[in-house]
Chains A and B, each alone.
Chain A
Amino acid sequence: QVQLQESGPGLVKPSETLALTCSVSGASMSSGTYYWSWIRQPPGKGLEWIGYIHYRGSTNYDPSLKSRVTISVDTSKNQFSLKLSSVTTADTAIYYCARAGITGTVTTSWFDPWGQGALVIVSS
């Protein structure tokens, strides 16, 4: 059973860089056609897709965050990471990591499983 777990600082100062790591257990990140993803949810609001990385290193980011986001992977540790630079209070959210699956025809995709989420507060 694949499990994901987020870790990182829960408090970040404005203008600094938010950094989180997702540890994957129960399966190798290098197996299967999966995209390892970050999703966030501001308090009381909806889900926002941030971006994903394939184990070979290809990435895709939400256009609105692209200039500030970097997602990287360390297959030797079975982990992937998120960095979000120049944060503001608007970046306060629960950050989830999730595995994205996709069929060969790319018409079908899904996020499963999800980590439990990590609350990151941006405040001085």
Chain B
Amino acid sequence: SSELTQDPAVSVALGQTVRITCQGDSLRNYYASWYQQKPGQAPVLVIYGQNNRPSGIPDRFSGSTSGSTASLTITGAQAEDEADYYCNSRDSSGDYVFGTGTKLTVL
């Protein structure tokens, strides 16, 4: 099955912009979705498709794709954005795969 690779940890200064990336061959044909997970909580969808935000997700979250790399960008990171972030996509078999996860620290 396909794999999605993320950097284990990323940090950003409060109010600055951070990009979290996700690499995998499936992303050439399928859009990534992105999930935020805070300690002890279930994941929450923050971005899906070309660049769609569910209701209630701040517009500082955005998504993009280039080739086999999907990116989640947080413009003006806030303290409450500190969390683990996971990407996900389908593959040609109809299976789903999650990325390895990125721990975001807001300094």
Name A residues whose Cβ lies closer than 8 Å to a Cβ of B: 37, 39, 46-49, 52, 60, 62-64, 96, 100, 102-103, 106-117
Interface string of B42-70 (1 = CB under 8 A from A): 11110011101010000000000000000
Q: Please measure, in the bound complex, the distance between the C-alpha atom of A107 and the C-alpha atom of B98, giving whole angstroms.
A: 16
Mostly, the A contact residues are strand
Sample 6 A-B pairs with CB under 8 A, ordered by A number.
A49-B88, A102-B90, A108-B31, A109-B90, A112-B54, A114-B42
Name B residues whose Cβ lies closer than 8 Å to a Cβ of A: 1, 29-31, 33, 35, 37, 42-45, 48-50, 52, 54, 86, 88-90, 93-101
A47 lies within 8 A of B31 (CB): no
Residue from the list B48, B96, B100 in contact with A108, Cβ < 8 A? B48
Instruction: Indicate whether A47 sits within 8 Å of B29 (C-beta atoms), given known contacts A109-B89, A111-B35, A114-B44.
Output: no
Residue from the list A46, A60, A100 in contact with B98, Cβ < 8 A? A46
Q: B54 to nearest A CB, angstroms?
A: 6
Q: B80 to nearest A CB, angstroms?
A: 19
Residues of A within 8 A of B35 (CB): 47, 111
B29 lies within 8 A of A107 (CB): yes
B101 to A, closest residue via Cβ: A46
Residues of A within 8 A of B29 (CB): 107
Q: B6 to nearest A CB, angstroms?
A: 9
